[in-house]
Structure formats: structure tokens, C-alpha cells
A and B are shown apart, each in its own frame.
Chain A
Amino acid sequence: MTSLRAFTCDDLFRLGGAALDAVLLNCGPQYGIPFYLQYLAHWPEYFIVAEAPGGELMGYIMGKAEGSVAREEWHGHVTALSVAPEFRRLGLAAKLMELLEEISEKKGGFFVDLFVRVSNQVAVNMYKQLGYSVYRTVLEYYSASNGEPDEDAYDMRKALSRDTEKKSIIPLPHPVRPEDIE
């Protein structure tokens, strides 16, 4: 039981509560306000929040559309997916992913992709269940804090209907460096 709607600036004030505990399933940098605003300004349709009947913020997904159409690289990207611990194991992450895929379909994307820490087995498995596969490994994509080594990321992809031959998800044989990805 969930209300799904567009994320608004006022929701930022409520991120604290849930986000204090929420472990992002896949995440890039530490987000600051500008980061959220950038997404709201550029891809508002890709920023969806889920609310519980009691009004609690259950989770959100944030993404974007990018890549060249000519090179068949136009795609949806999952930037962040977060579900508060209280609302785990309800299939909410899957629901939010489904919505992002639907939007990407409508925009004529060839695939949807996301980055995830190689160590985050729970997330990797979840994405696999949702039909994603590892397209390539990006070396030292996550810069580490407090002395631990940098961590690699999996770039996971799922082909959309426009990519009829599923060319976009054929795994690369070699890992790439972060500077080589677009």
C-alpha cells in the first residue's frame, strides 16, 4: 500500500528521517541539495517518491535519460534508489524500478542501466531478479573514505523493447576505467 507521486522540494525536508537509516541500494557520490535540485530541474519525471498510508516516506527513485540516440545509447539511468528499512521486503524497489523502466520505454530508450558496488550482493541479486545483467565492471568507481581501498562497480543493464536484438546488454569482455565511461 503505497502512494506513488512526483518528488517535490518539500520532500527534501523529510529525507532526514528515512534517509538516516536508509541504505542506498546503489549510489554514486554523497548527495547535496544541488544534486537533488539538478535532477528536479532536468528530469523531474524520473524522480518518484513512495508514501505510506500513515504519511511516512517509504522510499524514492531518482534517475535520468541520457546518451546518444544515433549510437543507440539513449537510455534511462538509475541514479539512486532508496527504501527505508521499515518498508523493505514489500517489493517497493521493484515497483519503483518498473516505473523508471516504463518512463524510459516511453522516451524511446534502448536500455536502462545502473551502477552498484560489487560488494553489495543483496542489491546485485535483486537487480538480477528484475532482469538486469552485468554489462561491464567499472574499476575503482566508488572512491572510498577512511583509508579503505576504492571499490569497483558493476554497470548493470536491462534491454528495453526498442533494442529488439538486445545488443545493448552484451557483456564487455574487459573492465573499464571510470574515465572511459560516458
Chain B
Amino acid sequence: MAARGHVQDPNDRRLRPIYDYLDNGNNKMAIQQADKLLKKHKDLHCAKVLKAIGLQRTGKQDEAYALAQEVAALEPTDDNSLQALTILYREMHRPELVTKLYEAAVKKVPNSEEYHSHLFMAYARVGEYKKMQQAGMALYKIVPKNPYYFWSVMSLIMQSISAQDENLSKTMFLPLAERMVEKMVKEDKIEAEAEVELYYMILERLEKYQEALDVVRGKLGEKLTSELQSRENKCMAMYKKLCRWPECNALSRRLLLKNSDDWQFYITYFDSVFQLIDESWTPPLEEEHSLEGEVHYSIEQAVKFIEERITEESKSTRPLRGPYLAKLELIRRLRCRGCNDEYKLGDPEELMFQYFKKFGDKPCCFTDLKVFVDLLPSSQYTKFISQLLEVIPLSSTTESEIALPADIKALQQHLCVVQLSRLLGIYHAMDKKQKLTVVRELMLRYHHGLEFGKTCLKTELQFSDYYCLLAVHLLLDLWLEEGEEMAVWQCLTLLEEGLSHSPSNAQFKLLLIRIYCRLGAFEPVAELYSSLDAKHIQHDTIGYLLTRYAESLGHYAAASQSCNFALRFFHSNQKDTSEYIIQAYKYGAFEKIPEFIAFRNRLNSSLHFAQVRTERMLLDLLLEANISSSLEESIKSMSLSPEEDDIPWKDLRDNRDLTVLFNWDPKDRDISEEHRKLSLEEETLWLRIRSLTLRLVSGLPTLSHSIQPKNSEKTAENGVSSKIDTIRSLLQQLEAAVDSGKKFLEQKIQYPVLGPPPTRMAGFFSNGSCQCQTSLFYLVSDIYELDTNGLEVQERIGNSFKSLIERLTDLFNKCKGDLIEVRDGTLKTQPNLLENLVFFVETISITQWVSSYCDGVLRPFKSNLQKKKKKKKETNVAMPPVFTHFLDYVTELQTLTSNVIDHIKGLEIILTALKLEELSLKDTLLLQVRTSIIRDDTEFWNGELGCDVCDSICCLICLQ
């Protein structure tokens, strides 16, 4: 409600209805209302801007922009117009225009705090740090409020972060920022916690750790209260930087006395103790040990300290895991130093056993012990496991052959042992028969455990879910390591069953997704993935599970969709983050500003982002551009250009979560750092090949344009030759990328089954599509030379046509075969046939585009020759053989394409006959998509180009 006595601006009242219409999404009415108002009040600029917003939202961007610029040119200073223009520019994704707007406004109203602060924020949105610094100071001069001053200081830090030259940042920006803060300190003007935080940030970045420490420990440090243990944490960080181990030790000891469960302080405590021992540190005789009090500097003290924590813990109401795990950690560190049990800490095996007795019923017991299993000698594994099993209260019943847990706690304990058994490799060492016995037992336990979860909600997990998962892992071993084909079908059954009891278990879904994809059955995957309800960041972290397979298994619609989801997320990130950078200024969360910017960069340089961008465009071309004219249009509408490379190759960030699938494998089988590194390398190599292919394709239409002038006059080479040069250079790069890819694959890397999926690169090389595609681009390069290089190149082109047909036929042959093989009563899928088929379709599409380019060159070339002939009246001189070669080539392509269509129709029939519900290897929709693409191909061949060729033939015959 408006405050009493407030005189409302009549313009506000007039504009109100337009705002309302805009708010309600009624843009048309908003525009009409604005027009009406503008008839009466020509100078009501805001109405124009509101109209522009309406226009922008109805897709009339150009009109909206023109109208907005009309108002902006007048340099408005009324709130309404300024705010409306800000909204409009934001919707137009033109934040830089907002800065212009307020620059003009502050010129006219130089004392407006509000406009100056808008100007600052507008600069913040576009990251104009230098101007922010000035705007902040200008603000402070008008209204001497501390935050404005510190906005300016923060802008200096941002300049130092973004400066390319580190020297400049350390010698200029940061010292200046430091001096600015010091000035305020001297004048005793520091008010807020945020200001001290900022001071600390500057000193830290300047590596003035001692000074930073003094600030935190001094009077100013008293302001650091919001964050828990803010002062302690900052001191600790500085002690570490300064290698002040006595202080590190004393402080971590003190913090552990307060909370003996905080792991990070145990780590610092141990680190510092051993550092002090190595330095043979001794405490000063008279003074205190350190700034932070008593210091432990010997193993004896550390041992005693940990034992005391354990004694203390036993008195606590809630059992704490910290002290017990700290003891194991100490043993591990001592062993690393060659001490075994000189300090009587006990046998790790026994300690882990005790730990299990205490915490075995907690689901995290496994994760905790996993960190320390290296302490067990491998000869003790079996003994250790049976020792654990003995203490679990299991009871035999008459109905069951095995002893079962009577309650959830016992079940949890037993599960922990099963997980440990797998981690210790006990299952891996078993033979096939033993493994199957364990699977049977685990499934029995799984079913029995469901008893305990009868009252679980749909959103909760079943207590015994891990039994099922572990059984599946064993079956996967049997499938992949012992070639037991039946096992994988059992995996699917078990997982689907598990999912029916525990519908929100993401692990079941993830594992099903991986297995279905491996089998080549994408159909159920899309639904499983969507039921995971993956949100925002997960498009980046686990999106790869979907995008790796959707396209390669021929599900073009799903592929397109999954790319879109991811792209939408990545694009919105840009806008979102700048909004919160501004908020961080407002609330003085200075520390978060560089963090937000780093976050934005991490997303922008995401490997997955670059992949979906590239694949999405290739896919669009593949699905939409089937005739050359539309290839040109598509490329134009995607604003693709062969010269442009928008992938940050050097900074690519692998944000994939490669451990999203649980596994309990021993360390030597688990996903290692090395696997991550190799997988990133492989993905990057493959991305390079794909991106170069995309750029090469996008270069084809640019060449077509140059044909006319090229044929008529050879002098016009400036702009013209550069295009073909681009293509040739890209082709060279492609060759190099392919070489590196091949070298990479020679290493024959096997990722763990649940680790990163291998790329499509191996298939691309082995099925021959790589060779086809590169020779297609070479053909482009050759045919470009047709009229200049005479017969030699003609022969080469003729050979290319021939070998292309051979290679395509070869590739096609690799698509033939049974998708599902039945051998000795077991089923085996052949997903590589599908992958090959998808590569074939892609290659044949590129073939079309290239052939169409060839046609575009050959036609004028021929008609030129004909003209010459007519002039010379040499009717019986034969035309160059290249025309006949092209003709043969087109005919053979037609035959090949119709064979492919027949093949796919054949697959359709087989699959309908098979009707494998569960397998659903290929849905009819997919077939339709694929056949339709190939049908389009046929239409194309029979139609346009075919006709042209027929025409040419006619001409040729006539002439002869």
C-alpha cells in the first residue's frame, strides 16, 4: 500500500495497465495499450520501451531494438524508462547496452546515488572491472558509505585475477587494493566483517601470509564471526602457508579437543607432528610452546593423544567414529615411516574387527574401512572376513539353507562384510561355479531382506538393495571376464526386479542404463534416465551416460533431446551466474565472487558442453539437411563457419562424474586417476575429429559460391582461394587428429566396466567410415582443381569415385548380420552392427553433400567445354572421362542406397518376428527415422542430382 501523503506520478498510473499486461504475458495487449498511450502522450518514453518489451517477447527483435535505441538516444533519466530498458536489454542478452544507458544517466544527474550504483552493477554484469573500480569510487565520493569503497577495492582484485600478466597483478592491482584498505584501517573506518574478509583476501593473494595472520589474530579479526571457526580456519591456512608447524599442531589439537570427530583436523594434527619430528623441533624452555598453546612433537605424544580421544569417546552419548579411524590413520602413517608396532597401537586387523563390532550396523562402515584395507596383509583376507562373519547374529531357519539376519542391524553388518569381501578380491578369485553359488546366496538374502522394508515409502530404498547390486556385479564379471552370455540377461532380470521393489534406487537405474547401452538396446534407456530426474549440474556430470549412446545406437530423436537438455542448462548458466555475482557485491560476499566466476568458467569450458554442441550440430545437419541447398541454409542458421573454432582445447574441463556408479572392486580394478586422464585424452581426440568434420562440412557451401567466378576468370583468387585453403588446412588437421587417435588406440586401453565408456573412435576407424569421410574431403580438394590441373587430376578423381564406392560397399557390408545371434541356446547381441549402420548413414550423408558439390563443379565445366566445342565445331572429340566416371559413380551409389533400404526393411521384419519385449533392441520409431533418412537420400538421388545427371547424359549423347 502506498504511504499516505505520497503523491503518485500520473505517468505511473498511465503506464500501470501496460505493466500488468506484460506481467500476465499478454504482450499483444501491452503493445496496443502502449500505442494508445503514445498517441496522447508522445513524450512518454517509457511507454515506447514497454512496447519494445512486448515486441521483443513476441519475436520482433529488430523492431524492439530500433524502438529501444530511439529512447536510449534521448538519454533518459526517468526511473521508469531506465528500468524498463534494463529489463529489455537483459532479455535481448545485450547487457553491455545497460552500461551505456547509465553512463548517460549519471552524466546528466551526477549526484544520483541510485544511478551510480546501477552503473556499477551494469559493469559488474559484463565484467568491466576497471570501470567498476572507478564507478565504486565515484559512488563513495557522492555518498561516503563503506560498501561503495570496498566495491571499488574488490574490483581491483578482480582486475588482478583477470590480468593476463601475473606480474602486473602482483605489483599493481593488489598492492593498490592493499593500500586502499590500509588507508581505511588507519582512519579506523573498518566497519563490517566483509571488509576484513576482503583485506585477508588481498594479503593472501599477495602471499603476505604473516600480515594476513596478524590481521586475523588482531583486533580486526574479532569481526570475523559469521562463519563457524572463521578465525581458526583462516589462521590454520596461514600457519600452513608459513610452515608454522607448532601452531598448526597446537591449533588442530585444540580443535580436536572441541570436536574429536572432525577428520580434517586429525590430518593436520598428524601432518604437523611428523613435520616437527623431522625437524627435531623442541619447545622453548621458558615461553609457551606456540602462539596456539601446547604442541605435540613426538610419536609418543601423538599415540597418547589418540588413545585419550578414544577413552573420551567411550564416555560420549553418541558414538563417534573419528578417534577410532584416527588410530588406524596413525598406524598407516607409522608404517609408511617403517615403524610397525613399536608403539603398541595394536594390530590393524584386530582394530578393524573392533571397529566393525562397534559400527558394522551403520551403512558407512564399509566406506570407512575401505580407506584402511591396505593395512591388512593379503594372506589374512579370508581369515579377516570369517572373523567378521562370526560376530554377526545370523540365525538358521528350517525354510532356508543359509543363516539369515534377524533384524536390520544384522543385515547391515552382513552387507558390510559382503562389500568388504568384494573389495578384498575374494569373489574375484572364485571359479565360475563358486561365483554362481554366491549369486544365488546373495539373491536369497536380497529377497529375505525385503521383509524389513515392507513399510518403506516409494522414495526410500530397500535395506537389502546392495545384495542385489552385488549379485549383479558378480554376474557382470561372469559375462565380461568368462564370456558367460547368459549372465548378462540375468543381470537385467535382477536389476529390473530390484527396481520394482525399490523404484527410486538410482544405482539400479544407472547400472541398467550402462548394460542396456552395452548391449545396443537404447529403447529402455531414455525412460530410465528420465526417471533419474537428472537436474541442472547433472546434465554436465552424468549426461555422458546418455549422449554417448543415444546417437551411436541410432536414436536420433533421443540424441537430439539429450543434447538440448544439456545445452539449455549450459546456456542459462551464463546469465544466472552474473546475476549472483552482482548479489555477492551487494551482500559483501566478496570471497564468492571469484568463486562464481571460476564456476562459470568451469561450466563454459566443460568437455561435455563442447561435445553436445558439436554433436548437436552434426546431428541437425544429418537430420535436416538432405539436399545441398538446405545444407547451406542449415549451416547459415547455425551460424557455422569453417574458420571458427569455439572449443577451448587447452582448458577443457572434464566435469563427468565417473564414479556415479557404485562399485566395490579392489583398487587394481577400480577407476584410477590414470583412467580418468586417458579417458579425457580419448574424448578430446574424438571431439577434435568430430569438430573438424563439422567444420569441413560447413565449408562445403562456401566453396560452391566460388565456382562461377573461378571458372570464368582465374584471377579472382583472393577471396576465393582462401576458402579452399581453409578446407585443405582443416583436412590436414583432420588427418593429424586421426593419426593421434590411432596412436592413442594402439595402447588398447581397457577402462573398468563401470568406468568411463570408450568413445566411438575405435568403431569409426575400424569400420572404414573414417577413410570414407577423409577421402570425400580429398575429393572436394581435387575437384576444385579440375579445370586448372587437366588430365592428371581427372584421373585421380575417377579413381576416387571408384574407391569411394568400394569403401562405402565395404562399410555397408559391416552393417550386415544378425543383431541378435542365437548360439548354443544363448542370445548375443551385436551392437556394433548398429553403430556401423549409424556411421554409414552419416557417411552417406556427407557423400551426398560432397557429390552435390562435385555436380556443381562438373556442370559448368562441361557446359564450358561444350561451348568451346560448338565454336570449334569439333563434334567428334570425346568429352573428358571424368563425366562418365561421375555418372557411373552416381548410378552405383543409387544401387547401394537401395540395397541399404532393403537391408533395413529386412531388419524390421526380423525384429517384428522376434518381438523381444525385454530386449527391445530397436523400436520401430528408430527404424522409421532411419529409413526415412535413407528414403530421403533416395528421393534425392532419384530427384535433383539424378535428373541433372540424366540431363548431362542427354546432352552428351546429342553432342556425340
Contact = CB atoms under 8 A, between A and B. Distances in A.
Interface of A: 1-6, 8-10, 12-17, 20-21, 23, 30-34, 37-38, 40-42, 44-45, 48, 51-54, 56, 58, 85-91, 99, 102-103, 106-107
B537 A5 contact: no
Contacts of B541: 13, 16
A90 B225 CA distance: 28
Contacts of B655: 13
B58 interface: no
B37 interface: no
B368 A53 contact: yes
A138 to B, nearest CB: 21
B657 A89 contact: no
A20 B592 contact: no
A107 B657 CA distance: 37
B650 interface: no
Contact of B591 (A13, A14, A44, A53): A44
A32 B535 contact: yes
Interface stretch (B66-74, B91-99, B261-269, B377-385): B261-269
A106 B580 contact: no
Contacts of B367: 52, 54, 56, 86
Interface stretch (B10-18, B167-175, B593-601, B904-912): B593-601
A163 B663 CA distance: 49
Point out which of A2, A3, A41 has the most chain B C-beta atoms below 10 A from its C-beta. A41
Contact of B592 (A14, A40, A107): A40
A171 B611 CA distance: 55
B387 to A, nearest CB: 23
Interface stretch (B318-326, B492-500, B682-690): B318-326
Contacts of B460: 23
A38 B586 CA distance: 12
A2 B329 CA distance: 14
Contacts of A37: 576-577, 579-580, 583, 596
B637 interface: no
Interface size class of B (residues with CB under 8 A): 35 or more
A87 B364 contact: yes
Contacts of A1: 261, 263, 320-322, 325, 368
Interface in B564-615: 572-573, 576-577, 579-581, 583-584, 586-587, 589, 591-592, 595-596, 598-599, 602
A148 to B, nearest CB: 12
In the A-B complex, list the 5 residue pairs whose CB atoms are closest, starting with the nearest: A9-B599, A37-B580, A41-B583, A20-B506, A1-B321
B595 A102 contact: no
Most B-side CB within 10 Å, residue of A3, A20, A21, A88? A20
Contacts of B504: 21
Interface string B621-665: 000000000000000000000000000000000010101100000
B538 to A, nearest CB: 4
A89 B321 CA distance: 12
A68 B877 CA distance: 98
B225 A106 contact: yes
B226 interface: yes
A163 B211 CA distance: 40
A17 B592 contact: no
A166 B225 CA distance: 25
Contacts of A8: 595
A41 B592 contact: yes
Contacts of A4: 228, 262
A27 B461 CA distance: 19
Contacts of A6: 227
Contacts of B505: 21
Given A3-B264, A44-B227, A9 B595 contact: yes
B459 A23 contact: yes
A87 to B, nearest CB: 5
B363 interface: yes
A30 B533 CA distance: 11
Contact of B264 (A5, A54, A58, A91): A5
Given A1-B263, A13-B657, 9 more contacts: A6-B227, A8-B595, A20-B538, A33-B537, A42-B583, A44-B589, A54-B368, A89-B362, A90-B321
B596 A106 contact: no
Nearest to A99: B228
Contact of A54 (B371, B542, B584): B371
A91 B536 contact: no
B461 A21 contact: yes
Contacts of A12: 537, 599
B523 interface: no
10 contacts: A3-B264, A13-B602, A15-B537, A15-B538, A20-B532, A40-B584, A40-B592, A40-B596, A42-B589, A56-B367
A54 B461 CA distance: 23
A116 to B, nearest CB: 14
A40 B368 contact: no
Interface in B309-365: 318, 320-322, 325, 329, 362-364
Contacts of A2: 261-263, 322
B789 to A, nearest CB: 54
Contacts of A51: 263
Contacts of B532: 20
Contact of B542 (A16, A85, A87): A16
A53 B371 contact: yes
A30 B228 CA distance: 28
A16 B228 contact: no
B728 interface: no
B370 interface: yes
A13 B592 CA distance: 16
A13 B540 contact: yes
Interface in B762-819: none
A106 B263 contact: no
B517 to A, nearest CB: 18
Interface in B209-243: 225-228, 230, 233
B750 to A, nearest CB: 24
A62 B589 CA distance: 16
Nearest to A8: B595
A85 B226 contact: no
A53 to B, nearest CB: 5
Contact of B536 (A33, A42, A103, A107): A33
Contacts of A42: 583, 587, 589
Nearest to A12: B537
A54 B505 CA distance: 22
Contacts of B459: 23
Nearest to A42: B587
B54 to A, nearest CB: 26
A45 B584 contact: no
Contact of A45 (B227, B362, B534, B538): B227
Nearest to A4: B262
A45 B228 contact: yes
B384 to A, nearest CB: 19
B230 to A, nearest CB: 8
A44 B194 CA distance: 12
A20 B538 CA distance: 9
A84 B602 CA distance: 25
Contacts of B583: 37-38, 41-42
A5 B267 CA distance: 14
A34 B362 contact: no
Given A1-B322, A13-B657, A90-B321, A34 B580 contact: yes
Contacts of B576: 33-34, 37
Nearest to B324: A1
A37 B584 CA distance: 9
Contact of A102 (B228, B596, B602): B228
Nearest to B230: A45
Given A20-B532, A48-B228, A91-B318, A53 B325 contact: yes
Given A1-B320, A14-B657, A23-B459, A86 B363 contact: yes
